[in-house]
Structure 1
Amino acid sequence: PYAPEQTMLGRPVPPDRVRAAQVAEAAQVLRHLWSGERTTFDGEHFQLRAAHGFNRPEVPPPIVVGGWGPRMAGIAGRHADGFNTQAGHPQLTAFAEIARREHAASGRNPDDFLLTVFAGLSEPYVRADGSARAALEQKGVDRLILLTTPPYYLEEIREAGRMLAT
């Protein structure tokens, strides 16, 4: 959990290492809850006691961990199904390598690991033939998430849609 989100919710902001450990445990808790069985989990930050009643997804959604550094990339690789970070992050290639290596070390296929990035609606990312999109593909990015923030300019969004469609 990002510190600003914790603050907005009126929660204390634990140190980075504690928040990272919480993310790792949260991924494990989700898998327990999605099992469809009564489940118990005894973690440092989360506990479940014969928890049940949660719908078992036919296909569990991927757990994607967001982060800005190698520690979160490693946690994502070990405990999640994907990692999300900024498209222009200078260490994106290193993060992908860390996450996929940790994913493989956990006994899972690194090719199944999902690497996603986010960027604004800028032309280099919106154009299908843009060099920025090609560079992301070369770095192993599976999905580009385009963001816009308020105020929402509908014409800008429409233009991005037109560029993406061509």
Structure 2
Amino acid sequence: MKIIVMDSANVRIEVLNVADHMLEDEIELFLSEHGYSLNNISWMAAPIDYVPVQFHEYDTDKENGEEVHATRSTRLKDFSIYDSVQEVKHREQEELAQALHLQGEKVDDGYEWHFEGECPIVAAYDYDEPCDVVILSVRVNKEGGLTIIGDEKNDRGNEHEIEADDIFAGHMDFIISEIGY
């Protein structure tokens, strides 16, 4: 469970990971015992890992003087390195799928791209070992699933499918830029 503490005295928000079984009185006791002044904070308990957050931006349109309101939704979550890397990987996978939709050759169940000449090389886990992989082709199906065919750079002649999640974060861009997106 997460306790979200809004500290008005210090103008900050803190997220505390605590045991799931705490009741309201126990939470207030816990906060007091850990140095939070209940007079200066507001808090809420969320029994989930991801807390929705809505950001609002208000401004004035320079041309007509009317108020403009924009919103952006995101999630308040643990910001571990692993989570950040996974987010980058998934964003890159979405960008690759979009590049294939725009630049790839239409096939029965999606779009694909075959590399010729200088093929992109990415770092990936291949058979659970990190290595350089030469990417030969990529495909996105109608459901958005990616198929990546590659060959280990130092042991050519064994073309096989590489899982998108096995490609190191930041390396999918080598494929995307080679497509010309």
Q: TM-score, normalised by structure 2?
A: 0.21
Q: TM-score, normalised by structure 1?
A: 0.23
Higher normalized strand content (fraction of residues): 2
Give 1 or 2 for the bigger CA radius of gyration: 2
Higher normalized helix content (fraction of residues): 1
